[in-house]
Amino acid sequence: MIYNPYNTKMQEPTKILSEEHQFILKVIGALNRECDAIDNGKILDKNFFEKAIDFIRNYADKFHHAKEEDILFKELCKDDVNMHCNPTEQMLYEHDLGRNFVKGMEQALKENNKKKILENARGYTQLLQDHIYKEDNILYPMADEALNDKTQKSMLEKFKQAESKRFTKGTKEKYLGLANEFEKIK
């Protein structure tokens, strides 16, 4: 039998998560550019990194990763979901690695340690780029195939609840606006 899943259209929940990646990638791009600029003699702009950390902590982690960890990954790890070679463990591990880089970045800012700031920032961007690639291309398509319609619907509902519980009105818009601003910094 040729293995050929014709339904390659993304399901709603993973589509939402994948769209959030796009905003995270905007900030990651800006971080990379900022690191390069510093290497080329630009003076360290603490405010830039503080804003980036704020975005990563609140949007990438609290808003986005939490939806994955509390909702999507939980569904994927349920007994009746026929997932072979479940990649969620690796994804969770990568989320933790990311958190460590952010902590390192924050500490280095306090210490005014330029080298350490760049190390942690670059570590984070590289990790997240790879991580997002894996989720968009491997984990999400697998989830789309493994989870039934009913689960998909209930996940959407849980997404909404999680968002309103964690974010007050306007907060999401604030961070999306921030990501767009970051994108403009060349």
CA 92 – CA 106 distance, rounded (Å): 21
The nearer residue to another protein, 1 or 43, going by C-beta atoms, is: 1
The nearer residue to another protein, 22 or 137, going by C-beta atoms, is: 137
Selected range binding another protein among 25-33, 40-48, 93-101, 134-142, rule: CB under 8 A: 134-142
Q: Answer yes or no: are the C-beta atoms of 121 and 28 closer than 8 Å.
A: no
Which one among 43, 79, 80, 85 touches another protein, defined by CB under 8 A? 85
Distance of CA 52 to the CA centre of its chain: 13
CB of 90 to another protein, least distance (A): 9
CA 118 – CA 105 distance, rounded (Å): 8
Cβ partners under 8 Å of residue 13, min gap 6: 71, 72, 143, 152, 155, 156, 159
43 binds another protein (CB under 8 A): no
Q: Phi, psi at residue 9, to the nearest 5°? A: -70, 135
- 4-23 residues in contact with another protein (CB under 8 A) are 4, 6
CB of 82 to another protein, least distance (A): 9
Q: Binding residues for another protein, per CB under 8 A?
A: 1-4, 6, 83-85, 87, 133, 137-139, 141-142, 145
